[in-house]
Structure 1
Amino acid sequence: MTGPHALKPFLLAFPGPLRDQLVAAVLAGEKTATTGLLAEYEIENEELPEPGERSALIDSDGREVAVVEITEVHVLPLRDADLRLALGEGEGYRSVAEWREGHESFWHSAEMREALGDPEFVVDDGTMLVVEWFKVVEVLQPGG
């Protein structure tokens, strides 16, 4: 490995309590999947991740806390989200409906709408998602 600083950042949610909760779930081995909007990648002109790619998991303070490796990437419409995904998100969802409610709330938030540049943004069954499955390959000590 060339060191965590050579890795692109793996960001979950926005800095704050939700990111802290998600990072803790990753470090505890409970969160092994994350879902983003394809629109985010398009707006940022960012390439989709690929299996085998490694990234540095970033906490709310901007610190690299772990190295994660992508194991699977799927692009699918929201309607195709399944229970495996809901459980893999590691946020305590017990059903796809709970998972969808939680994610729609995040995607419809003012922060997300601002990031997308669309104050009226809403998701529907056809909204395309990017689902990343990953594993922690190294937990980094404070200070890198």
Structure 2
Amino acid sequence: MWPRVDGMRAMELGAPGSMRDELNALVLVGAKRATTGLLGEYAEEDERLETVGERLALLDNEGAAVAVLEITGVEVKAYDEVTWEHAAAEGEGDADLDAWRDVHRRFWSGEGTPVQGDTLVVCLGFRLTDGPSASSAPE
């Protein structure tokens, strides 16, 4: 099971360390409004998919909540079907969809889960509802 904070499920972006710090910073300034996870991890962790309107606690490297996110979209699709619109909303500076795929493929392979074109992923959209820049985050 994923951590719970103040009654909410938690979201931990990327790998612990500098990657998580960088991704959280992108969320907190409003640049990152989406993320992608492996569907298989939900089964491994005995977790259900997020739902639109659900609020999640965004955690830092120490497990402390740094913001609250509201889920705005949930889609399950094959890795090769992820759209540029979703990839760009991740806000990580990828030049195009091929670059996004390369970065994510390397990350998941490095974590021990190689992905193929038909690997199912969960594409989440979210908005910042409570955090340093929530008042200026796009709705």
TM-score, length basis structure 1: 0.85
Shift of 1:61: 2.0
Are 1:122 and 2:114 matched, yes or no? Answer: yes
2:135 corresponding residue in structure 1: none
1:27 corresponding residue in structure 2: 28
Rg (Cα) greater in structure = 1
Q: Can you list the C-alpha shifts for 1:101-144, whole angstroms capped at 9, x where unaligned?
A: 110111001xx22xxxxxxx42111000001000000117xxxx
What are structure 1's unaligned runs of at least 5 residues? 114-120
| Counterpart residue type for residue 82 of structure 2 | A
1:100 corresponding residue in structure 2: 101
State how far apart, in whole Å, the 2-side matches of 1:85 and 1:105 are.
18
1:135 corresponding residue in structure 2: 127
Q: CA RMSD in A?
A: 1.2
State how far apart, in whole Å, the 1-side matches of 2:57 and 2:24 are.
11
Query: Is the 8 Å Cα contact of residues 56 and 65 (structure 1) preserved in structure 2?
Result: yes
Shift of 1:81: 1.1
How many pairs does the alignment contain?
Answer: 128
Could you say what secondary structure the match of 1:66 adopts? Answer: strand
Q: Can you list the C-alpha shifts for 1:70-105, whole angstroms capped at 9, x where unaligned?
A: 000000001111111121111001211010011011
State how far apart, in whole Å, the 1-side matches of 2:18 and 2:38 are.
21
State how far apart, in whole Å, the 1-side matches of 2:122 and 2:70 are.
16
Query: Is the 8 Å Cα contact of residues 86 and 94 (structure 1) preserved in structure 2?
Result: no
What are structure 2's unaligned runs of at least 5 residues? 133-139
State how far apart, in whole Å, the 2-side matches of 1:61 and 1:45 are.
23
Shift of 1:14: 2.1
Shift of 1:7: 1.4
Could you say what secondary structure the match of 2:42 adopts? Answer: helix
Shift of 1:36: 0.3
| Counterpart residue type for residue 128 of structure 2 | V
Shift of 1:5: 1.6
Shift of 1:47: 0.3
State how far apart, in whole Å, the 1-side matches of 2:92 and 2:22 are.
8
2:62 corresponding residue in structure 1: 61
TM-score, length basis structure 2: 0.88
2:91 corresponding residue in structure 1: 90
